[in-house]
Amino acid sequence: MHPTDVNRVRKEIWRLALAEQDMRLVASAAQELADAHAPSLVLEAGLVVIYCRSFSGAPKGGRVPEHVVDELAPKSHLHQKLWEARNRMYGHTDEDYELRRKAVDVFGTHSYSVEYQHLNPALFDPFRALALALAENFKGAREEREQALRDTGVEPEPLVL
């Protein structure tokens, strides 16, 4: 294996390991939300943002490589719901007037509050299942790449996440 290929595969291993851990965090947040039976904007925001970062174009290499996303990314309604929540409520919405959160001055006192629409609680268990399935998929893809390195006589580097 050419040294540039070794480095590419090592980066993919690192990204997949991060994505796997992110999906486990998403599953944990979804479980907390389902168990709490009460909305929590902090957990909802964490669930949405952490889920989407594995699939977004993070400039410093946080994104799972495109060919892996094509192999593993869900084409499901749940995946689309999470992206919609990210784009409409939890991430990068201030640049687009149509998508951004609305700041409301309810009493006309220049004391604004932000309108949030909570995630549908009926989706917490399916979000958890999706995240766990993706975590396993990312783990499998990571292990395949680790084995590919071993097959060429290169030992994968220990991961420090």
The count of domains in the chain is: 1
Could you tell me which residues are beta bridge partners of residue 114? 103
Instruction: Pick the most confident of 34-43, 52-61, 64-73, 88-97.
Output: 34-43
Q: What is the DSSP letter of 106?
A: T
pLDDT value, residue 47: 93
pLDDT, position 84: 83
Whether 21 is covered by a domain: the verdict is yes
Residue 83 lies in a domain: yes
Q: Of the candidates 11, 8, 13, 27, which has an alpha carbon nearest to the alpha carbon of residue 135?
A: 27
pLDDT tens, 136-159?
989 999 999 999 999 999 988 887
**Lookup result for tokens 């783990």:** 139
Helices 41-53 and 77-85: crossing angle in degrees, nearest 10, is 110
Domain membership of residue 36 (yes or no) is yes
pLDDT category at 135 given cuts 50, 70, 90 is very high
**Closest C-alpha among 27, 60, 56, 63 to residue 43:** 27
- Decide if 160 is inside a domain: no
Q: Is 157 part of a structural domain of the chain? A: no
Query: Is 51 domain-assigned?
Result: yes
The whole domain housing 43 covers 3-151
